[in-house]
Amino acid sequence: MRHTVNIINSTFASFLTSWRGTGSSKKNFQPPESLILFDQEADPECRNVREVLTELNLDVTIMPCPIGGKNFRYLKKASGLESLPVLYDTNVDEWRHGMHEIIAYLYKQYKGSAVPKRILGLTKVDAMRSQAASWLRLNSGSTVRKAKQAQTPLTLYSFESSPFSRPVRELLCELELPYHLINLGKQISADNGPAVFRFSLKPYSPLANSKREAFFNEHGNVQVPYLVDPNTDTALFESKAILTYLKNQYAL
Ligand SMILES: N[C@@H](CCC(=O)N[C@@H](CS)C(=O)NCC(=O)O)C(=O)O
């Protein structure tokens, strides 16, 4: 029951942020080396950056920086920066800091365009709504919890507005576990609806040559969250099972 309440609350958080971070570009380009985002799940500016990453269909390695954690201290030492979000693009050895700088960089570098007005126009009201979404989530994903370290980063398939994926990202952040975030945003109308009940009568078929299609070919459907932990050879669907797994495996 508590999990159901958690998911309903997470769905309201997605409403508050107007379901930004649901749709993804049909382009499938990924840079050779993963982008690295120093991120805090509950931070409103970090959320705006993750929304854009979903929209551009870009994958990223998340370095969670919860309050009180060692990653934040490392970031301050390595870059001299005191606040989030921070993006490091290994491909060109470039650092970008703050939501506006990072979003402009992502559009220029990976879409070859300026930031669209719809995103440039993110107003103070949108910022307040993103902050309200974090409050609604009781700031989950903001503060470090004692945890074991993972030798190798985990992989999470998700998209930013996914109500089922958010609690998993919050816990990964609190446990300070780095992970590859594979964005599987919705690219065509057939992608709409939950995995068990698509809003279409036709059999589900994702966009050809997309990450969704690769996932579909491997698993027979597309459903997020999906977590892969190479440290224990574990791969899991179902948000509740993933949360239980992470707590049992890593929380101290
Ligand atoms: N019972 C599953 C439900 C997961 C679910 O329905 N996820 C949605 C996204 S929030 C999904 O995968 N939709 C299908 C799609 O995006 O193609 C869980 O708790 O993880």
Let me know: does 11 contact 3? Beta carbons within 8 Å: no
Q: Is 45 helix (H, G, I), strand (E, B) or coil?
A: helix
What pLDDT, on the 0 to 100 scale, is given for residue 121?
64
Could you count the other beta carbons within 10 Å of the beta carbon of residue 35? 24
Q: Say how far apart CA 50 and CA 116 lie, in whole Å.
A: 16
Atom nearest to 186 CA in ligand 1: 16
Pocket test for ligand 1, best of 162, 169, 215, 222 (most atoms within 8 A of CB): 162
Is residue 164 lining ligand 1, measured as CB closer than 6 Å? Answer: yes
CB-ligand 1 contact for 68 (6 Å cutoff): no
Write out the two tokens for 241. Answer: 């099972």
What is the per-residue pLDDT for 120? Answer: 67
Instruction: Report which DSSP code applies to 58.
Output: -
Rounded Cα gap, residues 143 and 40, in angstroms: 9
Which atom of ligand 1 is nearest the CA belonging to 237?
20
Domain residue ranges in the chain: 2-184+224-250
Residue type for 121, please? Answer: G
Q: What is the pLDDT of residue 194?
A: 86
* Ligand 1 pocket check for 224: Cβ under 6 Å: yes
Ligand 1, residue 165: give the atom nearest the CA.
Answer: 10
- Specify the residue for token string 């929209």: 55
CA 102–ligand 1 middle distance (angstroms): 29
- Does any ligand 1 atom lie closer than 6 A to the CB of residue 54? no
pLDDT (tens place) for every residue of the chain, 252 residues total: 699 999 999 999 999 999 999 999 999 899 999 999 999 999 999 999 999 999 999 999 999 999 999 998 888 888 888 899 999 999 999 999 999 999 999 999 999 988 887 776 667 788 889 999 999 999 999 999 999 999 999 999 999 999 999 999 999 999 999 999 999 999 999 999 888 888 777 889 999 999 999 999 999 999 999 999 999 999 999 999 999 999 999 999
The ligand 1 atom nearest the CA atom of 7: 19
Closest residue to atom 1 of ligand 1, CA basis? 238
Query: What's the number of CA atoms in the CB half-sphere (13 Å) around residue 230?
Result: 9
From residue 220, give the alpha-carbon distance in Å to each of 196, 204, 213, 217, 240.
12, 10, 10, 6, 21
What's the pLDDT score for residue 138? 96
pTM of the model: 0.96
pLDDT attached to residue 114 = 87
Place of tokens 């506006």: 100
